[in-house]
Amino acid sequence: MHDSTQTAEPLLNRSMLAVILAQFFSAFGDNALLFATLAVIKQQLYPDWSQPVLQMAFVATYILLAPFVGQIADSFSKGRVMMVANSLKLLGALVICFGFNPFLGYTLVGVGAAAYSPAKYGILGEITRGDQLVKANGLMEASTIAAILIGSVAGGVLADWHILAALGLCVVVYGAAVVANWFIPRLQAAHRAASWRPGRMFSTFTGACRTLWNNDDARFSLVGTSLFWGAGVTLRFLLVLWVPVALGIADNATPTMLNAMVAVGIVAGAGAAARFITLQTVKRCLPAGVLIGVTVVIFALQSSMTFSYLLLVLVGIFGGFFVVPLNALLQERGRETVGAGNAIAVQNLGENAAMLLMLGLYSLVVKLGAPVIAIGVGFGALFALAIVGVWAWQIVRTKRMKKASAR
């Protein structure tokens, strides 16, 4: 239970506003930097299949640091953890800006992002009460998606004009994120780490993994969000190769604009989820998950710019409606059991393992020369089937629970 002083706080209190602002600047930097760095890679004539490798290096940091970052987030004031993490992102952007290896700089940004994620989501349960948590997640997702929308477009458009200008913008917004983090009040640590020895921390993390995967609600959330974010990051890279083939356009700006359409949709979907779904009715999100895959199949077969934009907005709407309630469910179950920071770290492990697997498969099929349109159709169909499988699993689980309670 949260204390009475916290329950008296409105949703948009000073802490929440500072978190939302910091998240906006941080996510803006992440997305602008991705497209600016992709432009650097193209300029330096790296092969096409190396583009997803850039993201795979980023994702690998989440997996390697997962046993430690959740405990760090729960052992210190989360606002200060967020500030240090954004400082690491700033350093990574500077590495790329000053002409060092782009893969190295982007990996350093990944280290900052891995440390940042458990703190930014874990703090929501500390600055809001339980019945506000889905709404707080909706605000967080809306802030993130607005940042993806503006950051992606700014990164792509500026990179077409001048790559150094795009990289400079990333440095500025990461600096703004660090400043915004400073205004988050110092909150008490959620749980002090029992030990800072890596072996002991790894053991604590594996214990948290077991606890959450043995909890039906947490497992449902972990599977759903892992599938969603694995598919989302793969779609982003698919668009970079799909646009020249399907639309005949070879610039940096068009794929970023199409990614932005997904972001616009997610804002709407997150708002709808906050309005129509509670922690008790989370399963209502499942049909939207199936529709994501179906819409991607239709989209992959398009050659019309207008319909492509509309379909990606729909993908985003279904995506926001699907993922926001699952995030809130995991945070609540995590807070009740292993701590919100540890729960988000476990979630990050699952999501980033899914990203690494899907990006690896995508990079492989591109390297083998599979047609981009066929990749898009297969990708959408597999995602829809995966969510149908999760839905069927939930139906079976509900029937078993009813039978058990009837005995």
Nearest to 171 by CA among 91, 111, 100: 91
**Measured between alpha carbons, how far is 296 from 262 in angstroms, rounded to an integer?**
11
> Residue 5 — pLDDT band, cuts 50, 70, 90?
very low
pLDDT at res. 295 = 92
**Measured between alpha carbons, how far is 351 from 225 in angstroms, rounded to an integer?**
7
Residue of 74 and 246 predicted with greater confidence:
246
CA-to-CA dists, residue 398 to 227, 291, 324, 395, angstroms: 21, 22, 22, 5
Q: What is the CATH number of domain 9-399?
A: 1.20.1250.20
Query: Is the pLDDT reported for residue 4 higher than 60?
Result: no
**Measured between alpha carbons, how far is 71 from 338 in angstroms, rounded to an integer?**
10
Query: Residue 12: what are its φ and ψ, rounded to 5°?
Result: -90, 65
Predicted TM-score (pTM) of the model is 0.69
Cβ contacts of residue 64 below 8 Å, gap of 6+?
none
- Per-residue pLDDT averaged across 372-395, rounded? 86
First to last CA, the chain: 32
Question: What distance lies between CA 342 and its chain's CA centroid?
Answer: 16
Runs of H (alpha helix) within 76-189: 78-97, 102-122, 124-127, 133-161, 163-182
Tokens standing for residue 116: 């940042």
CA-to-CA dists, residue 381 to 184, 253, 317, 376, 387, angstroms: 43, 27, 18, 9, 10
**Measured between alpha carbons, how far is 327 from 1 in angstroms, rounded to an integer?**
19
pLDDT at res. 314 = 92
Nearest to 168 by CA among 159, 181, 177, 178: 159
pLDDT at res. 406 = 64
> Residue 2 — pLDDT band, cuts 50, 70, 90?
very low
**Measured between alpha carbons, how far is 185 from 356 in angstroms, rounded to an integer?**
35
**Measured between alpha carbons, how far is 19 from 126 in angstroms, rounded to an integer?**
12
Are 35 and 252 within 8 A, CB to CB?
yes
Query: Is the pLDDT reported for residue 9 higher than 80?
Result: no
What's the one-letter identity of residue 82? M
Write out 228-262 in H/E/C secondary structure.
HHHHHHHHHHHHHHHHHHHHCCCCCHHHHHHHHHH
- Per-residue pLDDT averaged across 369-388, rounded? 87
Q: What is the pLDDT of residues 155-207, one digit of tens each?
A: 878 877 788 888 888 889 999 988 888 877 666 655 565 556 777 777 877 88
Q: What is the pLDDT of residues 90-149, one digit of tens each?
A: 998 898 888 788 888 888 888 898 888 777 766 776 666 656 666 777 777 778 878 877
Nearest to 330 by CA among 258, 225, 175, 176: 225
Q: Where are the domains of the chain?
A: 9-399
**Measured between alpha carbons, how far is 259 from 265 in angstroms, rounded to an integer?**
10
High-pLDDT (> 70) share of the chain, %: 86
